[in-house]
Amino acid sequence: MKRQPDCTIKEESLLLFHYRELAPKERLALTEHLRQCPACRQRLAELKNSLASLPRPTLELSAAEVGWLSARIAARTRPAPRPRFWLWSGAVATAALVVSLAAWPPTGPDSRLGVMGRTSGEIGMVEDPELLQNMDLLQNLDLLQELKQVG
């Protein structure tokens, strides 16, 4: 189809005409041109057909999906839970108590740790005869002092 010899209508103008985005004055001028230019009418018709054939994608969200997404959003809007200081302080106190009990020196004969500690100390002394000798001397000295007090 032939365009008018003086036809300078651009594709963009036809597009804006289709979307009704031309200024009133330009729209009026193009409307007048279209009456006289079959080629531009054809171009506009093709443009409209192309655009009309484009689909409009749509998602159908079920009530359950809306509920699930809403719940996720609601969960994310809630403030983050504050650290439970009372819980941590209790745990720290318990740990400190356990450590202090473990480090406490054994007092009774049932304390296996104490028995083991004393036994190993005695073994150490047995391995050092000079120390044993000195202890004997000290014991003798104590005995002499006691006898002196009695006498």
Partner 1 sequence: MSNGVAVIETNGLPEEWEVNTSAAEEAALLERIRQGNTAAFDKLVRDHLPRVVNLAYRLLGDRNEAEDIAQEAFLRLHRSLPNFRGECLVMTWLYRVVSRLVVDHLRRERLRRRLFFFRRDEEDPDPVDTFADTAPSPRDQLLARETEKRLFVALGKLSARQRAVFVLRHQEGLPLREIGDLLGLREGTIKAHLHRAVQVLRKDLNDWQEDTP
Which positions ≥6 away from 18 have C-beta within 8 Å? 44, 47, 48, 51
Q: How far apart are CA 41 and CA 14, in angstroms?
A: 9
Of 6, 24, 25, 50, the residue at the interface with partner 1 (CB under 8 A) is: 50
Closer residue to partner 1 (CB): 34 or 47: 47
Closer residue to partner 1 (CB): 63 or 150: 63
- Beta carbons within 10 angstroms of residue 13's beta carbon: 19
By the rule CB under 8 A, 58 interacts with partner 1: yes
By the rule CB under 8 A, 51 interacts with partner 1: yes
Burial class (CB in 10 A: 0-12, 13-18, 19+), 40: buried
Q: Which residues bind partner 1 (CB under 8 A)?
A: 11-12, 15-16, 19, 21, 47, 50-51, 53-59, 61, 66-67, 69-70, 72-74, 76-77
